[in-house]
Amino acid sequence: MSTNLSIFDIAGPIMVGPSSSHTAGACKIGQFARALFHHTPKKVTFYLHGSFGEVYKGHATDLALLAGVMKFKTSDPKIKNAFEIAKEKHLNYKFLTRDLGEKYHPNTVKIVLEKGKEKMSVIGSSVGGGMIEIVKIDDFEVYLKGTAGKYLSLVVCHDENPKVLKDLERKINKLGIKIAETVQSHYKDERLSVLSLEGRRITLEEVMELEKNSIGIDFIRSLSKLQQTA
Amino acid sequence: MAESPNSMNNFEFHTAEQILKLCHKHKLFIGEIAKRYEAERSGKSVPATRNKMKQTRNVMYEAVKKGIHSTQKSKMGMVGGDAHKMHLALKKIPEMIGNKVTIRAMSYAIAVGEQNAGMGRIVAFPTAGGAGVIPGVLFSCAEHFKAGKRKLLNGMFCASAVGLIIAEGATLSAAKGGCQAEVGAGVAMAAAGLTEMRDGTPEQCFHAAAMSLKSYLGLACDPLGGLVEVPCIKRNALGCMVAIGASDLAIAGVKSFIPFDEVVLAMRNIAKIMSPKIRETALGGLAVTATGNMIKKKLGMKITPMDL
């Protein structure tokens, strides 16, 4: 299937400087984390690993990550003012340098988003030219590529009972949306599945409806909007 | 989707060898194959894909236009105003040895770099650090040839195809592969794009790309304070010279002894054995010179003694 790179991953993204991996890519990781968390966070902590940790100030990686969490596009000139805008929005943020381990790409960040009792941790890497990969969501090892694809993804956290996912897949098919691929990761008795959808874009209402009416499902997140380049 | 399942992969390529086969099969240039590849994978029409590249070109053009007239210094005062100096030199300094093409190319490349450093809008083509070479080379040469938009856009598509092959076979991240992966890749891409704009054959495009990339293997990414300013911006300017030179070599019939795909593998190999200190961490090379450490100090970063 078309997980192939786009020509516009190379001739792009259109972005605000200074660095595609440290600014644009960082912004994109922030956007993904925000989409996965689904809520508007009150508190965000960024753990910067490798090169991200060494040079984040000069590359405005901190501004870009924070801007991404506030859903700014990589080409938004307001990225410059992310700190002030976060303050206006009463979003608490903190940047810490942390060695996350050798297995991670040098441009990696762990983002912990919080709102009241809700908490989520997302690890993402900026792999060059603004392209990113999400490699961990909470305790689940995943592999989500942030490229300009026509394929849309749903991230589903659910029980290990195989009927739960089958049931959900049937409901999605009923909406006239095909599932091209399902990739699952395990942690204890929970499963995290990434469903690559084909055909039309799933609406937010449909996602919320699915989440509400399914048993054994912790959450469903749609990443469809993010897969467009800015 | 109305398309048959097989049509998905008609224009798919991952290597130079594969895209050259497609060029011969369809009797098309690299840029045209790249355009069709993108149309196919995105499900959009060929004209819509072309249009998207036109928008990309427009953003690049805006950055160049702003950059050549700007005299604003960057935050740390390391860069700013050099594009304007070169732009003026074209009219004011008769002793310049380079011609209109080369001086414009350098001026445009610096313009994009300076805009990027000032958090202006640019196209990361292939990355922000190497974003000056392609507009520098392709815009200045298009002006010289009085090439139409179609030709320029095809050159951009061709350059993108070369970038895609590097991204798949090696890397476009300086954090992974050093400067060879950003400015080096940009120079190779520009050389191929220019060669296509000059009606060179697809093979000549890859010879130009291979000769360029070979000249950049192993280049350290050692920017002062980790900022995409010094030496990045001037490397972009001088990279234009290499791209134009490589394209001339290829057009004259000079061939790269090592095929492009093998050069990409060499780049990957070098990335693997390159010290992390010279991979965008500001822990080696120019970043730890006396001047480099002075900038680090100003930024509140830890001073790194030079390991000699």
Give dist(CA A156, CA A116) in Å, integer: 22
Tally the domains of chain B. Answer: 1
From B308, B185, A230, select the one nearest B177 (Cα to Cα). Answer: B185
Torsion region of B44: left, alpha or beta (phi above 0 gives left; psi -120 to 50 gives alpha): beta
Amino acid A192 reads L
Domains and CATH numbers, chain A: 7-146 (3.30.1330.90), 152-227 (3.30.70.260)
Give dist(CA A76, CA B40) in Å, integer: 29
> What is the reported pLDDT for B247?
98
In order of A102, B236, B265, the CA distances from B130 in angstroms are 27, 6, 20
Instruction: Report the chain B residue with the minimal C-alpha distance to residue A2.
Output: B41
pLDDT over 60 at B160, yes or no: yes
Give dist(CA A49, CA A106) in Å, integer: 7
Range of the domain at B132: 15-298
Average pLDDT over residues A57-76: 92
C-alpha distance from B87 to closest chain A C-alpha (Å):
22
Chain B touched by A6 (CB under 8 Å): yes
**How do residues B259-290 score in pLDDT, each as one tens digit?**
999 999 999 999 999 999 999 889 999 999 99
Residues B290, B292, B294, B296, Cα dihedral to 10° = -140
Percent over 70 (pLDDT), chain B = 97
**In 3-state terms, what secondary structure has residue B83?**
helix
Percent over 90 (pLDDT), chain B = 91
* Assigned domain for B1 exists: no
> What is the reported pLDDT for A151?
56
Rg, C-alpha atoms of chain A: 17
**How do residues A95-151 score in pLDDT, each as one tens digit?**
999 999 999 998 999 999 999 999 999 999 998 878 899 999 999 999 888 754 445
C-alpha distance from B227 to closest chain A C-alpha (Å):
5
Cβ-contact A17, B117 below 8 angstroms? yes
* Assigned domain for B269 exists: yes
ipTM for the assembly:
0.94
CB contact under 8 A, B181 and A13: no
CB contact under 8 A, A20 and B127: yes
> What is the reported pLDDT for A147?
57
Give dist(CA A161, CA B6) in Å, integer: 36
pLDDT band at A3 (very low <50, low <70, confident <90, very high): low
Chain B touched by A18 (CB under 8 Å): yes
Chain A touched by B279 (CB under 8 Å): yes
* Assigned domain for B123 exists: yes
pLDDT band at B300 (very low <50, low <70, confident <90, very high): confident
pLDDT over 60 at A87, yes or no: yes
Residue with tokens 């098919």: A173
Using a CB-CB cut-off of 8 Å, the residues of chain B touching A57 are 226, 299-301
**How do residues B70-85 score in pLDDT, each as one tens digit?**
999 998 899 999 999 9
CB contact under 8 A, B53 and A11: yes
* Assigned domain for B7 exists: no
**How do residues A204-218 score in pLDDT, each as one tens digit?**
889 989 998 888 999
Which residues numbered 159-188 in A keep a CB inside 8 Å of some CB on B?
none
Chain A touched by B118 (CB under 8 Å): yes
Using a CB-CB cut-off of 8 Å, the residues of chain B touching A107 are 173, 175
In order of B62, B112, B272, the CA distances from A230 in angstroms are 17, 19, 31
pLDDT over 90 at A197, yes or no: no
Give dist(CA A46, CA A80) in Å, integer: 18
* Assigned domain for B238 exists: yes
Mutate to test the interface with B, among A51, A78, A147 (most CBs of B within 10 A): A51
C-alpha distance from A152 to closest chain B C-alpha (Å):
12
Mutate to test the interface with A, among B61, B267, B280, B298 (most CBs of A within 10 A): B280
Q: What is the DSSP letter of B58?
A: H
Give residues with Cβ within 8 angstroms of A223, minimum separation 6. A32, A35, A36, A144, A152, A153, A154, A155
Residue A41, preceding peptide bond in cis (omega within 30° of 0): no
Residue with tokens 């891409």: B189
Phi, psi of B18 (to 5 degrees): -65, -45
